[in-house]
């Protein structure tokens, strides 16, 4: 492991000042960053520990929730307001990793975790544009069963690994940031970037910016939500396909819907095409299937992952059917 300096921040402004040092990285629970350092994929010159920053989960004046970025994943999943008002979020977190990792991992760190593509982790023998820009992507012609079918590019076909972010994307979460230029906010759906020609640039964060909180808007439909994760084994596996969904059915028709997908793209994938196809239409199995097919129409599968198109289509339709049945 490359030698590094360590400092612990007690508030956001101090963290930003400390991170002004060249090569500095923010450290949360370390469940992803420390692994990458051990593999020498990440070589920070300094680590700024931000676990002492705000970890509270509290109601906003508007009736939503503000979640401190240092909140642990377990605390968020177990929070009463999350379980009752945003159940898909609680289920998504519990579907991710092991209990021990959830106890360590922070919300901010979960959002910024890097891909689990095996070629990205193979610094000894694999080409990876995300790790070394311009080098090439061995996943495209390699074993790519778990890789992206939506929004990928000739430079990168990796997927984003987070379960939590899929639910946050479905619920219009807003990311609060602090940085050298001051505070700002952005929708979570705009935080992560598609790879394009520069997969090494993974987010829209500016240099030195720190996630300080996540805000969930008051969203009554979120109380009627769920999360389903399809994976190779029941424990500690990343999603082949996952779906976060919320559905409001009135008089047999879709009054409103929220959909986001995981395991299919370089970022949490908000399924807006399917949402638009569903709103105002019948809440039927046939309509759910048609909307899912519309969302997956632009998919570009690789040699080993074409099955994800039908898997995602069926999972979307099944989750919506489950929610419609509960509404009835």
Check pLDDT > 80 for residue 133.
Answer: yes
pLDDT for residue 272 is more than 70 = yes
189 backbone dihedrals φ, ψ, rounded to 5°:
-65, -15
Q: Domain ranges in the chain?
A: 5-51, 223-327
CATH assignment of 5-51, among 1.10.1740.10, 3.30.43.10, 3.40.50.2000, 3.40.50.10860: 3.30.43.10
- Beta-strand relationship, 46-49 and 5-8: parallel
d(CA 261, CA 263): 7
As given in the structure block, the two tokens for residue 295 are 């969302």
Q: How far is CA 50 from CA 7, 69, 178, 201, in A?
A: 9, 9, 12, 22
pLDDT tens per residue across span 107-128? 999 999 999 999 999 998 999 9
| Domain at 223-327, CATH homologous superfamily | CO dehydrogenase flavoprotein, C-terminal domain (3.30.390.50)
Q: How far apart are CA 128 and CA 115, in angstroms?
A: 12
SS3 of the chain: the string is CCCCEEEECCCHHHHHHHCCCCCEEEECCCCCHHHHHHCCCCCCCEEEECCCCCCCEEECCCCCEEEECCCEHHHHHHCHHHHHHCHHHHHHHHCCCCHHHHHHCEHHHHHCCCCCCHHHHCCCCCCCCCCCCCCCCCCCCCCCCCCCCECCECCECCCCCCCHHHHHHHCCCEEEEEECCEEEEEEHHHHECCCCCCCCCCECCCCCCEEEEEEECCCHHHHCEEEEEECCCCCCCCCCEEEEEEEEEECCEEEEEEEEEECCECCCEECHHHHHHHCCCECCHHHHHHHHHHHHCCCCCCCCCCHHHHHHHHHHHHHHHHHHHHHC
pLDDT for res 203: 98
Q: pTM score, two decimals?
A: 0.97
Q: What is the CA radius of gyration of the chain?
A: 20
In this prediction, residues 287-316 reach a mean pLDDT of 98
Cβ atoms < 10 Å from Cβ of 297: 9
pLDDT tens for 149-205 read 999 999 999 999 999 999 999 999 999 999 999 999 999 999 999 999 999 999 999
Question: Please, are residues 247 and 257 in contact by the beta-carbon 8 Å criterion?
Answer: yes
Mean pLDDT of the chain: 96
Give 209-251 pLDDT, tens digit per residue. Answer: 999 999 999 999 999 999 999 999 988 899 999 999 999 999 9
The residue whose two tokens read 């929220």 is: 258
């Amino acid at each position: 492991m490359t030698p590094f300096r360590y400092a612990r921040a007690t508030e956001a402004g101090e963290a930003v000042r400390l991170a002004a040092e060249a090569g500095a990285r923010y450290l949360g629970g370390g469940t992803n960053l420390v692994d990458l350092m051990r593999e020498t994929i990440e070589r920070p010159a300094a680590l700024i520990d931000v676990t002492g920053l705000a970890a509270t989960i509290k109601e906003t004046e508007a009736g939503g929730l503000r979640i401190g970025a240092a909140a642990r994943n377990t605390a968020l999943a177990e929070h009463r307001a999350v379980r009752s008002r945003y159940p898909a979020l609680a289920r998504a977190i519990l579907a991710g990793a092991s209990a021990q990792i959830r106890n360590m991992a922070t919300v901010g760190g979960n959002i910024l975790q890097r891909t689990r593509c095996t070629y990205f982790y193979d610094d000894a023998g694999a080409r990876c544009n995300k790790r070394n820009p311009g080098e090439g992507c061995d996943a495209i012609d390699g074993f790519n069963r778990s890789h992206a079918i939506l929004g990928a590019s000739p430079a990168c076909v990796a997927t984003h690994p987070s379960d939590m972010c899929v639910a946050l994307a479905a619920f219009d979460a807003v990311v609060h940031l602090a940085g050298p230029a001051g505070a700002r906010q952005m929708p979570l759906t705009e935080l992560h970037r598609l790879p394009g020609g520069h997969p090494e640039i993974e987010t829209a964060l500016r240099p030195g910016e720190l996630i300080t909180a996540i805000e969930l808007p008051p969203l009554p439909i979120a109380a009627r939500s769920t999360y389903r994760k399809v994976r190779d084994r029941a424990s500690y596996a990343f999603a082949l396909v996952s779906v976060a969904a919320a559905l409001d059915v009135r008089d047999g028709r879709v009054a409103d819907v929220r959909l986001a997908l995981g395991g299919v793209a370089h970022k949490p994938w908000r399924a807006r095409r399917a949402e638009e196809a569903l709103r105002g239409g019948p809440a039927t199995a046939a309509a759910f299937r048609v909307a899912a097919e519309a969302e997956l129409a632009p998919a570009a599968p690789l040699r080993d992952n074409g099955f994800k198109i039908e898997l995602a289509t069926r999972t979307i339709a099944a989750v919506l059917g489950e929610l419609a049945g509960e509404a009835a």
